[in-house]
Structure 1
Amino acid sequence: MPTWLCAAAGASGGGGMTDFLAAVVATLKPLGLNYAFVLDAGERSAFLRGLLVTLELCLLTIPCSLAAGLVLAAMLTSGRRALAAPARAFVELTRNTPTLVQLYCAFLVLNMLITQQLASRGTGNPLTPFVWVVIVVSLHKAVFHAEALRAGIEAVPRITLEAARSLAFSRRQLLLQVELPLAVRFALPALVNNVVDLVKMTAVASAIAVGDLTYEAIMIWTQRDNVLELLLLILACFGLLTWLVSRAGRWLENRLRMPGYGH
């Protein structure tokens, strides 16, 4: 039996986890992979802390981006120029510029202006780098959600809308009770794809020193020169997260599918 399996079998004893990690490190070392950092309690906890921050970013940005996308889609399809025009301008500006540039502009420019204004009033700026990442990433992906939902709304059969109008549905009732429920089903594959991309996009948090998975890995490899090993771990972690999102999206598609609709 390999040494790491033997260590795993005895993990329930005293120091079992440490022995298990040491065995894994020893097993991977002949392959040219140096994962000795997991034996250091400080570096191991820093990596796990970064993973937790990445999970927090995902759990916050996903619902925030979907909510903002829903609002933008409603504005785009409202039929009112006063609502549709600014929404369209925001969509075009946001999706045609890089997320990293948007993050830098928000954190280095807008955040500085807010800080100066609040300092003149004797108060501090409550917007931390973490909050700015949530805001920027959520709004960036919201425009893609909005376009997917807009396409879904426009794909709702005209005869369905006419039937709803014949029942004296108001514009608001039509949107909330007919168009959006159908549009979400039509747009769900695109929405899931957007959420998968959003999970990967949270890595930009490291650009403004938010202690996410990528940032903590960079801090570790600058001390140990094990870039390849940590990059493989980052890829594995994000691969697992995106796979879970994809599986959840596939389950949701099957759950919301309407048998026979559209055939």
Structure 2
Amino acid sequence: MNLDFSQIVPYIPFMIEGIWVTLQFVLVAILVGFVIGTLLALCKIGSIKPLRWFADAYTSMFRGTPLILQLMIIYFAIPQLFAYDISPFLSAILAFGLNSSAYVSEIIRAGILAVDKGQTEAAVALGVPYRQMMINIILPQALKNILPALMNEFITLTKESAIVSTIGYLDLMRRAQVVGADLYRNFEPLLFVGILYWSLVMVLSLLGRWVERRLNVSD
């Protein structure tokens, strides 16, 4: 077999550095997605029809088109339409954050609807304002129920982050491509980066289980 992993040894620090570079935009994107997704979920279950229509249209658009297309549109359209030279980092945050929010909104909406209606009825009977009821009573219960689904979305986002290599962002995948082009050997760096991705996913999975156990103990 024509394999020689010794050649990638000098490049290992360069590729490992891509872990933090990848997590930088993934963490910000998931935060953006969670905030926007929560607002969209509240719009979907609210009584204001224009907001419900907007939230449904938003979700349909971002769930119905490929993520890589959304990334390309943001990265290439913004400079063309607004004469603003957007960076790959900001493009990645916007594309992944907006895309993730569409999925997160459905997860949170399902979590809110799964909360016993008696909680809402009791809060209304006690005269608790809608905003306070959502923040202090409904959302905490909903988030506890949907934590596994949210962690799964975070893991999916981490794996899909590899597509930002198409716009030149020096994430894990892009660094493997750089090393492969430099050595004229692609399999070894790609396999090494694949192990790094797998390790990231395992760590996130263990973290999600730990948080879930802590929440169950707190009951």
TM-score strictly above 0.5 = yes
Alignment equivalent of 2:7, drawn from 7, 21, 36: 36
Alignment correspondent of 1:68 = 36
Q: CA deviation at 1:184?
A: 0.6
**1:235 is aligned to 2:194:** yes
- Coordinate RMSD, CA, aligned: 2.0
Residue identity opposite 1:46 in structure 2:
F
Which of 150, 164, 168 is the aligned partner of 2:123?
164
CA distance in 1, matches of 2:49, 2:28: 31
User: By how many angstroms is 1:100 displaced?
Assistant: 0.3
1:51 match: secondary structure: helix
Partner of 1:136 in structure 2?
95
State the 1:259 CA deviation: 7.4
**CA distance 1:111–1:68, shift in 2 (3 Å):** farther
Give, in whole Å, the separation in 2 of the partners of 1:75 and 1:35: 55
CA separation of 1:206 and 1:164: change in aligned 2, threshold 3 A:
same
Tell me the matched-pair count: 219
Residues 221-241 of structure 1, C-alpha deviation per residue, up to 9 Å, x if partnerless? 122132221121111111111
Instruction: Give, in whole Å, the separation in 2 of the partners of 1:242 and 1:47.
Output: 17
CA distance in 2, matches of 1:48, 1:37: 12
Out of 147-156 and 76-85, give the one that drifted further: 76-85
Task: Specify the SS of the correspondent of 2:78.
Answer: helix
Report the secondary structure of 1:79's partner residue: coil
Gaps of 5+ in 1: 1-29, 119-124
Shift of the alpha carbon at 1:182?
Answer: 1.0
CA distance in 2, matches of 1:257, 1:77: 27
Relative to total residues, which structure has the larger helix share, 1 or 2? 2
Q: Residue type of the partner of 2:134?
A: L
Within 5 Å, give how 1:1-263 maps onto structure 2: 32-39=3-10, 43-115=11-83, 125=85, 127-257=86-216
Structure exhibiting the larger radius of gyration computed from Cα positions:
1
The alpha-carbon deviation at position 55 of structure 1 amounts to: 2.4
Residues 12-52 of structure 1, C-alpha deviation per residue, up to 9 Å, x if partnerless? xxxxxxxxxxxxxxxxxx8934331323xxx4453244333
1:112–1:46: structure 2 CA closer, same or farther, 3 Å change rule? farther
Whether the 8 Å contact between 1:189 and 1:249 is mirrored in structure 2 is yes
Out of 74-83 and 98-107, give the one that drifted further: 74-83
Instruction: Give the partner amino acid of 2:36.
Output: A
TM-score of the aligned structures, taking structure 1 as reference length: 0.77
Q: Which runs of 5+ in 2 are unaligned?
A: none
Report the TM-score, using the length of structure 2 for normalisation.
0.92
Higher relative contact order (CA 8 A, sep 6+): 2
2: CA distance, partners of 1:89 / 1:175: 24
| Mapped partners of 1:250, 1:111: distance in 2 | 42
Identity among equivalent positions (%) equals 28
